[in-house]
Structure 1
């Protein structure tokens, strides 16, 4: 794609606030000047909003104030006027009932923060899982020049000589305690090794996946995704981003210029190559909806189906993000895709140039971390989209994190009506379950939980774990942490709380999973299924009020990105009328 910069100088959006000698202009300038700002900052230079998701209750983002100052330096150097703007910060590690419930609220707040204030361009400082998609969703709906900066992953963890991946080893050690292979005291001792520096998860979890997705989409400077949070090069990236956004405003280079269907194809293929989180499916569908891009689950399956997973990182592989950065990071992966003919090389990025020009000279310095295609973790990576009478609108599975022997499986269903039912019964020695069964959990989707929590990777029963079994087929309408692993079918749509077929599965039914043929089948007759669905009644009461009720009434299914129906689309950045 060839980008044609807009003619400069032109009247900027911020001049609607600051230009002239009217009462309103003086009102806006005078209040801003109480911060000690010199008059020439209001002379028509671009105002850059630095949207900062810093929060001490969001540990992944707790270091972002430093990066905000670095972005500010860059903006000043390029002749812009930077303003740091705190925005709603959604923390995966702290929010209840689940951070996913508040992604759309954050996106809505970000959208109105941008539209309602004197910004000409936007730098989004992001880190934890939901801050990246929520800020990009909000910015895409406004469509001012925008660029993302990730906070970066934390350093490697080590426990007794073993690499410890944040999240991944939480699940692993927790199962080991239940199996009697690790003591509770050892589990607590390992806690200090899991998160030993600022930053987001050091595995290819959702935070690192989404940092990779925005880079593959072209919405960050090349190399942004993998730089560790505490590495000085992360600060350099922030400062260079501050410089770049000023030129983007002058060129009028907007998300709508970059976020094309070709860009989403690049991102989906990149997700397959890195063994990225299944959460990327929901987030990219939602982002595409804000851009007016017709992206579907079928695109995920078609574009990612035959892409080898070449990044050897937990939870699919053995290394962590620190090694990924040293090995060449995401530019090296995108280069591999380009060399294999799997990249839309002309896709535009925030640099103003094509993505191929950004990565063609990238080095690979460790081919055990970034593997050659012939040594891939799996030759057919990506996210598999399953359909059938149990998931007419689709369900997803991550092959690189699954057990090959379970990719074709027929087993007896053991059903949990919701997460509370699961917790109450899973450790009961009398539970009628063995490793051949299929664990099914209902009412954990967008409307059912509410918010679609990361509970899909249900822990196995202790009596199965004690046999040395580490995986079973698990099916739900929930999500799974990007740090988790297993043969786990997720996002089953329509969800149980909407009366999807998952709602009427009974213990003792047989379910067939056939990944190669993309099939998820409940082995009962069409007549029986129709009869059960006709008799179904909702098990989940709508919330009484507040945001929870708004979410319940308007959230779309996982197959549409779980955005709210009234937030889909781009509403632009027109300046509202003056209020004074």
Structure 2
């Protein structure tokens, strides 16, 4: 008599040996070598994606979080099984972690699909790990929940509060300016990253964690409880409980991201004054679902969404202050009239129900403003369009100098990172504070992989004269923790022959934030002639490996920089 094989637990996704009963028998035999009993092997499996690594300091507290997750999973009759995937520690990867986001998403997708999982917890935090895992999990089409790492707590240097990594840049600028000594910058270095967890400001990691929460992929407060607080372990255990209930089909309404969730994520991003990188990640996430993020529509949302959160790099507070001020509970309460309230979360609860249940929770309006007294009247980010960025560019206006919003300036052009690094601090560089710094050829389709080099340093001679900000434009990215009047993600990029590539030294460029325009001041005929006269770009000689796959397949910034073959196909 044939054994009945149920397609769950360890009998799910059996290895193909041509005999399904043999496959089950063999798998169970090897599983028992790990000490599992038949009772355990018959339980639904909740996978735990473990992104800890010796090269990811933000995730060094994950062993404790995994223990808490397992408690929740075990208590609800499921078997927790952790497994590794690629880990992307932002500051440990060359040339940039962005180059490997899609690789990680592929790893996550295929391991979820291939292994015997009934549901899975995505445990991550450092910048690209959360979007990569969400992208992969969407494509794998299995139930998943998100558990963010949580932010670091702050430290102090000489009575000055320190938090990675906005304060990293503030002190480095002082050091370049000659205002602090090598000894002092070394002391700052020792204190900046003071605990486990992601950057303690509203950088990319915390922005993506907040976005995950508003999209209903994680539990309330999971985005902002500091990594080292006991509440983080409490949330981990509760997340394990929820994922086990999903695996056992006790929660009938399985969370699936839809167009309304993407809309709510954009509203949340704008109200946070969040990271510019989140636009790229959200566009890629939406692309896995066949949903388009339109940058012109994004501007319409930005026009009616105020910045309510006074956090660095836009404001003055830190993530732990955001949590103590009421966190996402307080923010969503204020944003309620702007949100699509019919969406649901991993518990099957509607966003409307969640907001109403937290309507009387504590709210410190010094940190999280009310709609009547916003930090900024309009959203923190906008898209710019013009003859050098026909597919768009991004400006984080909430972290920029408003005095530079309507300005015409002379272009000082660097063709690539190497020339910029070589020339930027030379005394012979003819430049004034009214000029526009232009950095080309750092977009997605380069061997640099769209690095966070768009935060161009202000030339030392201008720094020493007191210049704190100037307009900087590139087809690259900047860290979510950075600040300044910096225009990014120019699309199409230089390396594919986009019009950004034809800018010459001395050209005049006009920025108008009011009109959401960025234009090279030349005639249409001159623009056309320059484009026609372009010398064909030298294609990098990449013969093999992941870099070839990346270069051949990566999309432009306004398309989310995903691989063309990974996007949703009907």
> What TM-score does the superposition give when structure 1 sets the normalisation length?
0.93
Residue correspondence of structure 1 range 394-433 to structure 2 within 5 A = 394-433=392-431
Quickly say closer, same or farther: Cα 1:494–1:521, change in 2 above 3 A: same
User: 1:134-170, CA deviations, whole angstroms, 9 ceiling, x for partnerless residues?
Assistant: 0000000012110000111110122111121211111
Quote the RMSD (CA, aligned, Å).
1.9
Is it true that 1:555 corresponds to 2:567 in the alignment?
no
Quickly say closer, same or farther: Cα 1:77–1:559, change in 2 above 3 A: same
Query: What residue in structure 2 maps to residue 40 of structure 1?
Result: 39
Is it true that 1:348 corresponds to 2:344 in the alignment?
yes
Distance (whole Å) between structure 2 residues aligned to residue 186 and residue 66 of structure 1: 34
Query: What residue in structure 2 maps to residue 182 of structure 1?
Result: 180
Structure with more contact order per residue of length (Cα contacts < 8 Å, sep ≥ 6) = 1
Distance (whole Å) between structure 2 residues aligned to residue 290 and residue 246 of structure 1: 25
Residue correspondence of structure 1 range 231-270 to structure 2 within 5 A = 231-251=229-249, 257-270=255-268
User: 1:350-377, CA deviations, whole angstroms, 9 ceiling, x for partnerless residues?
Assistant: 1111112223225243211112234322
1:276 pairs with one of 265, 274, 277: 274
Shift of 1:12: 3.2
User: 1:102-134, CA deviations, whole angstroms, 9 ceiling, x for partnerless residues?
Assistant: 000000011001111101101000110000000
Distance (whole Å) between structure 1 residues aligned to residue 53 and residue 372 of structure 2: 43
Shift of 1:538: 1.1
Asked whether the 8 Å contact 1:78–1:243 carries over to 2, the reply is yes
Distance (whole Å) between structure 1 residues aligned to residue 175 and residue 24 of structure 2: 64
Query: What residue in structure 2 maps to residue 24 of structure 1?
Result: 23
1:12 pairs with one of 8, 33, 42: 8
Query: What residue in structure 1 maps to residue 3 of structure 2?
Result: none
Secondary structure (helix, strand or coil) at the match of 2:91 reads: coil
Structure 1 unaligned spans of 5+: 1-9, 572-580
> What TM-score does the superposition give when structure 2 sets the normalisation length?
0.95
Quickly say closer, same or farther: Cα 1:255–1:99, change in 2 above 3 A: farther
Distance (whole Å) between structure 1 residues aligned to residue 184 and residue 135 of structure 2: 42
Secondary structure (helix, strand or coil) at the match of 1:175 reads: helix
Is it true that 1:545 corresponds to 2:544 in the alignment?
yes
Quickly say closer, same or farther: Cα 1:256–1:38, change in 2 above 3 A: closer
Secondary structure (helix, strand or coil) at the match of 2:12 reads: helix
Asked whether the 8 Å contact 1:197–1:230 carries over to 2, the reply is yes
Distance (whole Å) between structure 2 residues aligned to residue 293 and residue 386 of structure 1: 21
Residue correspondence of structure 1 range 277-426 to structure 2 within 5 A = 277-338=275-336, 341-360=337-356, 361-362=358-359, 363-426=361-424
Distance (whole Å) between structure 1 residues aligned to residue 345 and residue 297 of structure 2: 21
Asked whether the 8 Å contact 1:143–1:256 carries over to 2, the reply is no
Shift of 1:253: 6.8
Single out whichever of 156-165 and 273-282 deviates more from structure 2: 156-165
Distance (whole Å) between structure 2 residues aligned to residue 184 and residue 457 of structure 1: 22
Query: What residue in structure 1 maps to residue 567 of structure 2?
Result: 568
Asked whether the 8 Å contact 1:63–1:198 carries over to 2, the reply is yes
Single out whichever of 443-452 and 203-212 deviates more from structure 2: 443-452
